[in-house]
Amino acid sequence: GVKIGSSVLVVRGGDVIPEIVKAVDTPDCVPFVPSTHCPSCGSELVDYRCVNLASCPAQKGGRVWSALSKHGLDVKGVGWGTVRMYLLNHPEASTAGLLGMILKDKKAVVKAPLSKVIFAASIPRVGTTTASALATKFGSIPALLQASADELRTVDGIDTSADVIAGSLQGEHGDVLRW
């Protein structure tokens, strides 16, 4: 396998994803040992992922950044540096709180379609396609927030994710939509 310090030959694999076709080790190569704890918050990793969704700075920052991106609310003039500054100055703020502070301070006017607002909530297992399907099915944020897992299952492509999505809408992800 590939080690730290290996030289690799990379080719295009499939549409975009690069593929390592050859690795050459030198005497000073060392095996890669994956982290067991999140480098941002120190929580134990499960399947290489931080499970501290509510208070991990990297998780919150990623959700805020995603919400502000062109796939979300498409807020111009707010970069990762701005998000990081708010995280450092307001470490206890929720994702919804951080997002609200940034939008208020930047005097951002959000005129996004419902599907982009749903995407901006960073609901687990909801990408742009599922966000569009949810917007079409429920038509409003209040209707989506009241949807049961059984109602969510009626949306194309959600079936096995319905319980996760319904649970997320009752927590911090729903708070982002309520703001």
Length of the chain: 179
Do 116 and 71 touch, CB atoms closer than 8 A?
yes
User: Would you give the DSSP letter of residue 146?
Assistant: T
Q: For residue range 2-28, what is the model confidence (pLDDT) as tens digits?
A: 899 999 999 987 777 888 889 999 899
Q: For residue range 76-116, what is the model confidence (pLDDT) as tens digits?
A: 888 899 999 999 999 999 888 899 899 999 888 788 899 99
Do 37 and 44 touch, CB atoms closer than 8 A?
yes
Q: How far apart are CA 71 and CA 61, in angstroms?
A: 16
At 165, the amino acid letter reads I
Dihedral Cα 143, 151, 120, 35, nearest 10 deg: 150
- Note the pLDDT of residue 71: 87
Q: How far apart are CA 167 and CA 153, in angstroms?
A: 13
Q: How far apart are CA 118 and CA 68, in angstroms?
A: 12
Percent of the chain topping pLDDT 90: 64
User: Would you give the DSSP letter of residue 43?
Assistant: P
Locate 93 and state its tokens.
């703020």
- Note the pLDDT of residue 33: 92
